[in-house]
Structure 1
């Protein structure tokens, strides 16, 4: 598994190297030793994150054009590993860590079931994605229990963020359609 750095500070991209033959393929989607080695010396939200810290796995299924995001956590934040197990998504991160050299910057990634790349998203980021295929399953591994009281969201179409989504939006949740703007989030940070 190769590990690459992203343009956003502390974000890592893990690229598995699937074994393919006439039967199909086999790939490793998580390796604690590789994750720990890649994160050695990095901090997120003031404390180191290790493989053992990831305590909850979740999965979402979205249909073509759906956007989920832009979501984050207040308080101590939430580190996560994100991958697309089926289909493909346009995945977007926005750095909301005021002390980060990439504060306010965004970066997009394609996650799919061909390359199996997945992201390490440190604490202090907004995250969202758009489904690029008829169905897309996204898997999340997070480092703390979900606390709805700490949910923060910014509208996926907020002009201050100016996120460019690759296709027309087919659907968003009521929560995402009514999320506040970037300027409101900045006031609360």
Structure 2
């Protein structure tokens, strides 16, 4: 960073490879712009899931990942992070984990690099305010999509995923 602003490398094959990921597995880039207080999530994909690299390119977000991989030692645990355009940190969200965020600024831009093409038939949503998750959203929630408003509780989603 200097008086001109900053430069940030947003993707580097060698860095991704050194983290144990296949850089060629990512097939789609997406961007969302979100107003302060809005929550997007908690979202995941059915089937083989969807891995993604998530970065707040402008503004700031409170980002949450919930591990829903049944064989994982951190099954049903959640982790939260503050991502911001100032730091440009990229977060890896493994396939089988639910992901969501709340915009802390007006607006916040979030970039996604995803390893599978989107198929709306595979979309799964969990209630952002499920008491079992107890996500400490830092701001009052100002807006949710219709899909997020109607999302079922985690227990219901897990029951539906059992063979």
- TM-score band by shorter chain is over 0.9
Q: 1:30 aligns with which of 1, 7, 11?
A: 11
Q: 1:163 aligns with which of 108, 125, 135?
A: 135
Number of aligned residue pairs: give it: 161
Shift of 1:37: 1.1
- Residue of structure 1 in register with 2:100 after alignment: 128
Shift of 1:176: 0.2
> Taking structure 1 as the reference length, what is the TM-score of the superposition?
0.84
Report the Cα distance in structure 2 between the residues aligned to 1:24 and 1:149, rounded to whole angstroms: 42
Q: Secondary structure at the match of 1:21?
A: coil
Structure 1: which 5+ runs fail to align? 1-19, 40-48
> Taking structure 2 as the reference length, what is the TM-score of the superposition?
0.97
Higher relative contact order, structure no. (Cα contacts within 8 Å, ≥ 6 residues apart): 2
Structure 2: which 5+ runs fail to align? none
Report the Cα distance in structure 2 between the residues aligned to 1:165 and 1:21, rounded to whole angstroms: 33
Q: Secondary structure at the match of 2:19?
A: helix
Which stretches of structure 1, 4 residues or more, deviate above 4 A after TM superposition?
A: none
